[in-house]
Homo-oligomer: A and B are copies of this chain.
Amino acid sequence: MIPTDLIKGSLKTIVLKLLQENGRMYGYEITRRVEELTAGRIKLTYGALYPVLHKLENEGVLVTESENFNNRIRIYYSLTDKGHSVIAEKIEEMKMFIESLQNIINPQPGITYA
């Protein structure tokens, strides 16, 4: 398991990226998918996820549609136009972050950035 400290700052980017890939998803589904994609190494907690989803909705990054499935409510989230540009930016930041971390943990002489 990856310690939560490491994951903290990436939560928003992870959520938005999944919505970009999948069109729309509900909260529970997002946690499932993250576990799947990371072989169980990243488990989002609901106490973190739902407040973030609500916040992103309030910021106009996400919109919701409520649906009923088997007598259970599902609240689907999807990206707004603003959301699409936000995630595009966050992905760039994430790539730079990963590249930077790799330069630190696996230093190679002569490595250069574009």
Contacts and interface: CB of A to CB of B under 8 A. Distances in A.
Interface of A: 2-10, 13-14, 17-18, 21, 34, 37-39, 41-42, 91, 93-98, 100-105, 107, 113
A84 B73 CA distance: 50
A105 B42 CA distance: 14
A93 B41 CA distance: 10
A93 B8 CA distance: 14
B100 A37 contact: yes
Question: What 4 pairs between A and B have smallest CB-CB spacing?
Answer: A5-B9, A38-B100, A39-B113, A6-B9
Contacts of A101: 10, 14, 94, 98
A14 B42 CA distance: 20
Contacts of A100: 2, 37-39, 41-42
A60 B2 CA distance: 23
Contacts of A42: 100
